[in-house]
């Protein structure tokens, strides 16, 4: 680069490269974390979408207008359609209830169907469903393979067995065996009549923005009996997992960003401090403040120009290890990211650079040059405090930008400020006591006292910064562990893999003991009555003022009412008392959505018969545990007179599989649903989510190291001078090592312990408020905090500083 | 001068540094210097800026290594030693007073004086430190952090730090450079009084002729060589 070009492009700021490095890393952290959140979020959505067979469903009890399909296509979305209804076929001259599903050519849009050509063949994936003129049935109807069966007025051959259907299992307990056909054949069956209660589904998949646009157009057009199902409201067993993973990503991104901001604030302050002599000299020569400010702004702009592209590139590259990891593991490619993360990162860098560089600069322009040149302390002033407000505003703007919510950003900023303001004060007292009156070498204590507590060194601010960094890491670990533990609890090793449904109630006790005799662990048999909610406290549901899709879905839902003498596993009463014979027990989420409270009278209807009872308890339900779970548990007396079946879940080991055939012979009519395939898929999603969480943790760790290195870098001149002084006064290498290590160990220990304290306090709040987990005191957290602090500060610190031990004391004479 | 009385001995000592241009790859700072200093003697080295005074002081004190020549400090050949060994020779026997004081910030006056004695594991360190600070007139400021002291007071702490060791040699590099004339004279008085009390050798680098005249011997350095 020629001299003129260099003058034009290269920023003239002392130590600019250090600030540039902090900026590069900040930009890459923001870019990468945003890309991760963006892409992992979309990958999780896609995985979950495979269980919906689409990204979005429009479900209706009557045929959907063709114009809606055209509208989806006009938005650039792929579409498919299904119609499902219950019907009956004859097997060995006995009627058999089946779930008939007619699918269009493009079904499924997400996930894949898997079929077998013969029973016991390995399953193989296929790109689309049955073609015109054939039927596929699930394994339970394997005996029909090759037969032509009558389905209404049509007679079609069974050509394949369905091994896996992505969107099966929305209502696990109601499944009759599946019969699948091409949509084109449906009319010929003559099964679609007004009383057939068919469900029409329009499946839609595509880009998130197009989906949002489509949804916003369709939603106002929905009538009663029609609803939109997305990932957010479709599958209760997945919903909580996805929501928590997203919340965790948001938390991780934000905390990583806070760490990055600490790094940039520290390096910007250091860069400004290095500039102060030059600015004072220029002021002495009569250069105006305005001109100097302009000069500095130009230099900052050049710095930004230099730092942003490599930062974006690094951030972009950082996603490949993740892609490699996930891709190799799961054979998946992450979806492409949008341009937004890059723009956000560049903007964050600009705000941070200005926000943290301007205040010290403006303050410097306010200070008489003689004060700077004679290194006199600058007295605190109101204006100086006001100038610091610029940094706060910048920080607020950045958090706001990332969070998208002003109030949350303000609360978070307040918490950070409170910690940053109080912590040096809290740290000072024990450190002072230890160094003044503790044991050990006096010279070492005096040296450490000077390094850590001397005014103007801001060592405690640095420890605070690092402590917040560590706290963020501990918090992420703690929350991650709590989440994983929670998931692990939900999915115990002995989780059920079969549901037995359609059990005649009079034979449920016999079935229970039959299973027990064969060592098959099973849940109790729950009675099952299908009922519609008709009124709450005398108000018909059609007159309720409902808000949100979920509420609409619930009132249109056909509930499986059950009864249980004891509170089912993983249920907890959150309000009222468990009194199964005196009224309803309602699931907490449903109660919140529909505004149901204790004492409210719920009215249900079963085939025209209406009954009602008061609500006696509200329950939390762990939907993800794959056991029979119910929105509403009813008094036994209400259900006994109504038509009902029973269901139970069971854990059938590989060795016990041979017992299934005798079971079906002994209890004809009982349907056996194998849910292990579905569970494996859901477990896969949880695995992926936890892997992503760990990856995030590594990223936050990197940001923490940057903070430490920038701190050590910033203090290297001071440190070198002191090492040289100790050397000149006769300190041995051992003395120098003791001084450096002592400082690093003490800093690490203090940062680690206070980080543990903060993580414990904040973790309790976060666990309860964001993740619905119980807070817990964790001695391991304190030990981890202390150890992590010591190792994370000492190890890189030592590697970085040990060269300084070779300092020549001649430096002292050279000034 | 007999060997027992010799405190410092330099013979044919040279030192160069990398030059700024390709034409002059090496820049000679000190060239072929020979010098002996005996215990109790005050030697003042003067010269213009860039004449090599500070480099010479650093070589004599073992703060820097020479390219060639022989350097003896307190009876030890330090030119063959590494940094660690040279520090061991200085420990507890050599005092320094620097132009920029070089005190440990945040630590008080007493802690600063104690520092080299602790490093040398000398007995009665606290008592000697207090005596030393009293000797330089700072008995009332023992626990004052050094950055709250004036420049003159800070230099007194530096002298007390050197004095408390009862050093056999005191090196001073422009000790009055950052002080006003009156304070500077007080500081020089103190250093000479310290020399008289301890019988230590004093090697003083200064460019002030007025101070140079107080030495037992004055040496004028010009372009790395003694003049005359």
Q: What is the pLDDT of residues A137-147, one digit of tens each?
A: 987 788 888 88
Say what the pLDDT of residue A328 is.
Answer: 43
Chain A nearest-CA distance from B57, in A, is 9
Q: What is the mean pLDDT of residues A367-381?
A: 62
Q: Other C-beta atoms within 10 Å of B33: how many?
A: 24
Q: What would the pLDDT profile of A579-607 be if each residue is shown by its tens digit?
A: 888 899 998 888 888 889 899 999 998 87
Identify the residue among B105, B121, B206 best suited for mutation to test binding to A, counting A beta carbons within 10 A and taking the highest.
B105
Q: What is the mean pLDDT of residues A151-159?
A: 88
Chain A nearest-CA distance from B60, in A, is 11
Instruction: Say whether A730 and B94 touch across the interface (CB within 8 A).
Output: yes
CB B163 within 8 A of CB B135: yes
CB A808 within 8 A of CB B84: no
Say what the pLDDT of residue A330 is.
Answer: 38
Rounded to whole angstroms, the Cα distance separating A749 from A663 reads 63
- For the cut 90, the answer to whether the pLDDT of residue A363 exceeds it is no
- Among the partner residues A442, A722, A730, nearest to B120 by beta-carbon distance: A730
Report pTM: 0.58
A182 membership: H or E segment, kind and range: strand A178-182
The residue whose two tokens read 């979309």 is A42
A550 compared with A307, residue with greater pLDDT? A307
Please report, for chain A, how many H helices and E strands are present, in that order: 24, 23
Q: Cβ contacts (< 8 Å) between B147 and chain A: which residues?
A: 454-456
Q: Cβ contacts (< 8 Å) between A451 and chain B: which residues?
A: 106
Instruction: Say whether A730 and B173 touch across the interface (CB within 8 A).
Output: no
- Among the partner residues A450, A730, A815, nearest to B91 by beta-carbon distance: A730
Instruction: Say whether A722 and B119 touch across the interface (CB within 8 A).
Output: no
Residue A792 has phi, psi (to 5 degrees) of -70, -30
Q: What is the mean pLDDT of residues A188-197?
A: 77
B9 compared with A449, residue with greater pLDDT? B9
Residue B50 has phi, psi (to 5 degrees) of 85, 10
Chain A nearest-CA distance from B106, in A, is 4
- For the cut 90, the answer to whether the pLDDT of residue B42 exceeds it is yes
Q: In chain B, whose CA is at the least distance from the CA of A440?
A: B118
The mean-pLDDT minimum among A156-160, A206-210, A268-272 falls in A268-272
- For the cut 60, the answer to whether the pLDDT of residue A193 exceeds it is yes
Q: What is the mean pLDDT of residues B131-138?
A: 90
Question: What's the helix, strand, coil split of chain B in %, to 5?
Answer: 40, 30, 35
Q: Cβ contacts (< 8 Å) between B118 and chain A: which residues?
A: 441-444, 446
- Among the partner residues B58, B91, B116, nearest to A813 by beta-carbon distance: B58
Say what the pLDDT of residue B171 is.
Answer: 92
User: What is the distance in angstroms between the CA of the first residue and the CA of the last residue of chain B?
Assistant: 20
Strand order across the B94-97 sheet: B94-97, B169-173, B201-205, B42-47, B217-222, B225-226
Instruction: Say whether A806 and B147 touch across the interface (CB within 8 A).
Output: no
Q: Cβ contacts (< 8 Å) between A737 and chain B: which residues?
A: none
B203 compared with B103, residue with greater pLDDT? B203
CB A688 within 8 A of CB A44: yes
Among candidates A309, A300, A361, which has minimal Cα distance to A11?
A: A300
Q: What would the pLDDT profile of A251-287 be if each residue is shown by its tens digit?
A: 667 777 777 777 778 778 777 777 777 777 677 666 7
Q: What is the mean pLDDT of residues A704-710?
A: 73
Say what the pLDDT of residue B77 is.
Answer: 94
Chain B nearest-CA distance from A247, in A, is 45
Cβ-Cβ contacts under 8 Å for A670 (sequence gap 6 or more): A500, A501, A502, A503, A511, A663, A664
Rounded to whole angstroms, the Cα distance separating A420 from A428 reads 13
Burial bucket for residue A547 (CB in 10 Å: 0-12, 13-18, 19+): exposed
> Sorting pLDDT into bands at 50, 70 and 90, what band is B35?
very high
Chain B nearest-CA distance from A422, in A, is 21
Say what the pLDDT of residue B3 is.
Answer: 65
- Among the partner residues B84, B90, B104, nearest to A447 by beta-carbon distance: B104
Q: Cis peptide before A600, with omega less than 30 degrees from 0?
A: no
Instruction: Say whether A812 and B61 touch across the interface (CB within 8 A).
Output: no
Q: Cβ contacts (< 8 Å) between A729 and chain B: which residues?
A: 90-91, 96, 115-116, 119, 161
CB B43 within 8 A of CB B10: no
Chain A nearest-CA distance from B61, in A, is 9
Cβ-Cβ contacts under 8 Å for A671 (sequence gap 6 or more): A140, A175, A176, A177, A500, A501, A502
Instruction: Say whether A731 and B119 touch across the interface (CB within 8 A).
Output: yes
Say what the pLDDT of residue A423 is.
Answer: 81
- For the cut 70, the answer to whether the pLDDT of residue A316 exceeds it is yes
3-state secondary structure of A415: helix
Rounded to whole angstroms, the Cα distance separating A519 from A398 reads 59
Q: Cβ contacts (< 8 Å) between B115 and chain A: which residues?
A: 443, 446-447, 726, 729
- For the cut 50, the answer to whether the pLDDT of residue A691 exceeds it is yes
A245 phi-psi bin (left φ>0, alpha ψ -120 to 50, beta other): alpha
Chain A nearest-CA distance from B160, in A, is 13
3-state secondary structure of A200: strand
Say what the pLDDT of residue A243 is.
Answer: 64
Sign of CA dihedral A15, A18, A24, A30: negative
Instruction: Say whether A813 and B57 touch across the interface (CB within 8 A).
Output: yes
Instruction: Say whether A725 and B111 touch across the interface (CB within 8 A).
Output: no
Rounded to whole angstroms, the Cα distance separating A478 from A255 reads 13
The mean-pLDDT minimum among A4-8, A342-346, A360-364, B171-175 falls in A4-8
Instruction: Say whether B63 and A721 touch across the interface (CB within 8 A).
Output: no
Rounded to whole angstroms, the Cα distance separating A395 from A379 reads 25
Most confident of A343-357, A398-412, A427-441: A343-357
B69 phi-psi bin (left φ>0, alpha ψ -120 to 50, beta other): left
Most confident of A169-178, A337-346, A399-408, A743-752: A743-752
Cα-based distances in Å from A457 to A450, A712, A714, A721: 9, 12, 11, 14
Identify the residue among A373, A431, A444, A730 best suited for mutation to test binding to B, counting B beta carbons within 10 A and taking the highest.
A730
- For the cut 60, the answer to whether the pLDDT of residue A559 exceeds it is yes
> Sorting pLDDT into bands at 50, 70 and 90, what band is A332?
very low
Instruction: Say whether A728 and B64 touch across the interface (CB within 8 A).
Output: no
Q: What would the pLDDT profile of A656-684 be if each residue is shown by its tens digit?
A: 877 877 887 788 777 777 676 666 665 66
Most confident of A114-118, A200-204, A206-210, A608-612: A200-204
- Per-chain mean pLDDT for chain A: 79
Say what the pLDDT of residue A331 is.
Answer: 39
CB B18 within 8 A of CB B85: no
Say what the pLDDT of residue A628 is.
Answer: 79
Instruction: Say whether A729 and B64 touch across the interface (CB within 8 A).
Output: no
Neighbouring-strand partners of residue A582: none
Q: What would the pLDDT profile of A375-401 be if each residue is shown by its tens digit?
A: 655 666 677 778 888 888 998 998 888
Instruction: Give me the DSSP letters along B71-140.
Output: EEETTEEGGG--HHHHHHHHTTTEEEE-TT----TTSBHHHHHHHHHHHTT-TTHHHHHHHHHHHTT-GG
Q: Cβ contacts (< 8 Å) between B51 and chain A: which residues?
A: none
Q: In chain B, whose CA is at the least distance from the CA of A730?
A: B91
Cβ-Cβ contacts under 8 Å for A575 (sequence gap 6 or more): A598, A617, A618
Say what the pLDDT of residue A326 is.
Answer: 54
Question: Which residues of A sit within 8 Å Cβ distance of B?
Answer: 441-444, 446-447, 449-451, 453-457, 721-722, 725-733, 735, 806, 808-810, 812-815
Pairing, β A671-674 against β A539-540: unpaired
Say what the pLDDT of residue A170 is.
Answer: 43
Say what the pLDDT of residue A486 is.
Answer: 63
Instruction: Say whether B87 and A727 touch across the interface (CB within 8 A).
Output: yes
- For the cut 90, the answer to whether the pLDDT of residue B32 exceeds it is yes
Rounded to whole angstroms, the Cα distance separating A131 from A108 reads 13
Q: What is the mean pLDDT of residues A608-629?
A: 82
Most confident of A644-648, A726-730, B9-13: B9-13
Chain B nearest-CA distance from A372, in A, is 16
Q: Please report, rounded to a whole number, the percentage of residues in chain A having pLDDT higher than 70.
A: 77
Rounded to whole angstroms, the Cα distance separating A430 from A432 reads 5
Among candidates A263, A330, A281, which has minimal Cα distance to A14?
A: A281
- For the cut 60, the answer to whether the pLDDT of residue A50 exceeds it is yes
- Three state DSSP letters for A312-371: HHHHHHHHHHHHHHHHHHHCCCCCCCCCHHHHHHHHHHHHHHHHHHHHHHHHHHHCCHHH
Q: What is the mean pLDDT of residues A514-541?
A: 88
E strand intervals along A537-608: 539-540, 558-561, 571-576, 584-587, 601-606
- For the cut 90, the answer to whether the pLDDT of residue A614 exceeds it is yes
> Sorting pLDDT into bands at 50, 70 and 90, what band is A172?
very low
- For the cut 70, the answer to whether the pLDDT of residue A234 exceeds it is no
A321 compared with A226, residue with greater pLDDT? A226
Question: Which residues of B sit within 8 Å Cβ distance of A?
Answer: 54-55, 57-58, 61, 63-64, 83-84, 87-88, 90-94, 96, 98-100, 102, 104-107, 111-112, 114-116, 118-120, 125, 145, 147, 161, 173
- Among the partner residues A444, A735, A813, nearest to B63 by beta-carbon distance: A813
Say what the pLDDT of residue A176 is.
Answer: 66
- Among the partner residues B64, B116, B125, nearest to A808 by beta-carbon distance: B64
Identify the residue among B51, B107, B206 best suited for mutation to test binding to A, counting A beta carbons within 10 A and taking the highest.
B107
Question: What's the helix, strand, coil split of chain A in %, to 5?
Answer: 60, 15, 25
Q: In chain A, whose CA is at the least distance from the CA of B98?
A: A813
Q: Cβ contacts (< 8 Å) between B112 and chain A: which residues?
A: 446
């Amino acid at each position: 680069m020629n001299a003129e070009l260099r003058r034009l492009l290269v920023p003239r700021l002392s130590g600019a490269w250090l600030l540039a490095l902090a900026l590069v890393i900040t930009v890459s952290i923001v870019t990468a974390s945003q890309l991760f959140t963006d892409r992992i979020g979309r990958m999780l959505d896609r995985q979950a979408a495979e269980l919906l067979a689409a990204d979005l469903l429009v479900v209706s009890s009557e045929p959907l207008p063709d114009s809606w399909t055209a509208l989806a296509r006009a938005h650039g979305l792929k579409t498919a359609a299904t119609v499902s209804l219950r019907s009956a076929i004859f097997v060995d001259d006995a009627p058999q209830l089946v779930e008939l599903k007619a699918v269009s050519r493009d079904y499924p849009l997400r996930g894949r169907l898997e079929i077998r050509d013969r029973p016991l063949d390995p399953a193989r994936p296929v790109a689309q469903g049955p073609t015109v003129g054939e039927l596929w049935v699930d394994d339970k109807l394997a005996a029909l393979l090759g037969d032509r069966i009558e389905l209404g007025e049509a007679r079609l051959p069974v050509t394949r067995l369905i091994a896996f259907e992505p969107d099966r299992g929305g209502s696990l307990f109601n499944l009759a065996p599946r019969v699948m056909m091409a949509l084109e054949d449906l009319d010929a069956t003559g099964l679609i009549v007004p009383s057939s209660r068919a469900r029409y589904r329009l499946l839609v998949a595509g880009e998130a923005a197009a989906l949002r646009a489509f949804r916003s157009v369709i939603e106002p057009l929905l009538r009663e009996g029609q609803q939109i199902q997305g990932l957010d409201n479709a599958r209760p067993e997945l919903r909580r997992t996805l929501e928590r993973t997203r919340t965790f990503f948001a938390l991780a991104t934000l905390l990583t960003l806070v760490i990055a901001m600490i790094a940039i604030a520290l390096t910007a302050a250091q860069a400004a401090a290095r500039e102060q002599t030059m600015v004072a000299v220029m002021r002495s020569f009569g250069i105006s403040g305005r001109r100097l400010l302009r000069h500095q702004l130009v230099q900052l702009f050049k710095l930004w120009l230099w730092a942003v592209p490599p930062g974006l590139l690094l951030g972009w590259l950082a996603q490949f290890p993740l892609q490699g990891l996930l891709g190799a593991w799961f054979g998946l490619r992450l979806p492409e990211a949008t341009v937004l993360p890059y723009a956000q990162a560049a903007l964050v860098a600009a705000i941070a650079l200005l926000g943290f560089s301007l205040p010290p600069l403006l303050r410097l322009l306010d200070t008489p040059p003689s004060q700077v040149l004679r290194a006199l302390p600058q007295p605190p002033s109101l204006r100086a405090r006001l100038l610091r407000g610029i940094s706060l505003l910048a920080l607020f703007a950045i958090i706001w930008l990332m969070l998208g919510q002003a109030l949350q950003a303000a609360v978070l900023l307040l918490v950070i400020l409170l910690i940053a303001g109080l912590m040096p004060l809290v740290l000072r007292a024990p450190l002072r006591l230890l160094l003044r009156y503790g044991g050990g070498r006096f010279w070492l204590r005096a040296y450490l006292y000077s390094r850590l507590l001397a005014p103007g060194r801001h060592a405690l601010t640095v420890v605070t910064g690092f402590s917040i960094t560590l706290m963020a890491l501990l918090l992420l670990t703690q929350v991650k562990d709590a989440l994983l533990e929670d998931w692990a609890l939900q999915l115990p090793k002995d989780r059920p893999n079969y549901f037995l449904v359609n059990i005649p109630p009079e034979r449920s006790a016999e079935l229970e003991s039959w299973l027990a005799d064969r060592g098959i662990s099973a849940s109790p048999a729950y009675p099952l009555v299908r009922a519609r909610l008709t009124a709450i406290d005398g108000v018909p549901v059609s007159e309720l003022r409902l808000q949100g899709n979920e509420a609409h879905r619930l009132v249109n839902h056909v509930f499986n009412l059950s009864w249980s003498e004891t509170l089912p596993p993983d249920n907890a009463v959150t309000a009222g008392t468990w009194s199964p014979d005196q009224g309803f027990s309602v699931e907490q989420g449903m109660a919140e959505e529909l505004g149901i409270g204790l004492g409210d009278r719920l009215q249900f209807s079963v085939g025209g018969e209406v009954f009602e009872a008061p609500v006696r308890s509200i329950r939390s339900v762990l939907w993800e545990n794959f056991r029979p779970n119910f929105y509403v548990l009813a008094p036994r007396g209400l259900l006994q007179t109504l038509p009902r079946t029973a269901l139970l879940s069971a854990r059938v080991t590989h060795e016990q599989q041979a017992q299934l055939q005798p079971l079906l012979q002994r209890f004809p009519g009982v349907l056996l649903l194998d849910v292990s395939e579905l569970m494996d898929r859901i477990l896969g999603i949880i695995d992926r989510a936890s892997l992503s969480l760990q990856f995030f943790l590594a990223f936050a760790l990197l940001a923490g190291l940057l903070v430490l290195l920038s701190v050590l870098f910033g203090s290297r001149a001071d440190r070198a001078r002191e090492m040289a002084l100790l050397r000149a006064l006769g300190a041995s290498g051992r003395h120098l090592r003791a001084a450096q290590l002592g400082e690093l160990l003490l800093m690490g220990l203090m940062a680690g312990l206070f980080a543990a304290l903060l993580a414990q306090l904040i973790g309790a709040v976060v666990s309860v408020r964001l993740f619905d987990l119980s807070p817990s005191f964790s001695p391991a957290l304190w030990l981890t905090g202390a150890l992590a602090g010591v190792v994370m500060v000492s190890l890189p610190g030592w590697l970085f500083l040990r060269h300084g031990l070779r300092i020549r004391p001649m430096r002292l004479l050279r000034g | 001068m007999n060997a027992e009385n010799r405190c410092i001995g330099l013979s044919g000592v040279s030192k160069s540094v990398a030059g700024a241009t390709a034409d002059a790859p090496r820049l000679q700072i000190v060239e072929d210097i020979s010098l002996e200093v005996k215990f109790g003697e005050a030697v003042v080295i003067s010269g213009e800026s860039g004449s090599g005074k500070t480099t010479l002081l650093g070589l004599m004190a073992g703060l820097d290594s020479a390219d060639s020549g022989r350097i003896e400090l307190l009876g030890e050949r330090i030119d063959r030693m590494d940094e660690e060994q040279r520090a061991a020779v200085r420990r507890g026997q050599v005092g320094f007073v620097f132009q920029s004081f070089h005190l440990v910030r945040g630590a008080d006056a007493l802690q600063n004086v104690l520092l080299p004695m602790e490093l040398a594991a000398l007995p009665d360190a606290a008592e000697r430190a207090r005596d030393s600070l009293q000797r330089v007139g700072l008995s009332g400021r023992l626990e004052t952090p050094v950055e709250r002291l004036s420049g003159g007071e800070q230099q007194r702490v530096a002298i007390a730090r050197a004095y408390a060791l009862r050093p056999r040699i005191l090196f001073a590099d422009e000790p009055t450079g950052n002080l006003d004339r009156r304070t500077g004279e007080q500081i020089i008085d103190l250093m000479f009084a310290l020399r008289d009390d301890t019988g230590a050798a004093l090697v003083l680098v200064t460019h002030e002729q007025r101070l140079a005249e107080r030495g037992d011997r004055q040496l004028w350095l010009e372009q790395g060589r003694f003049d005359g």
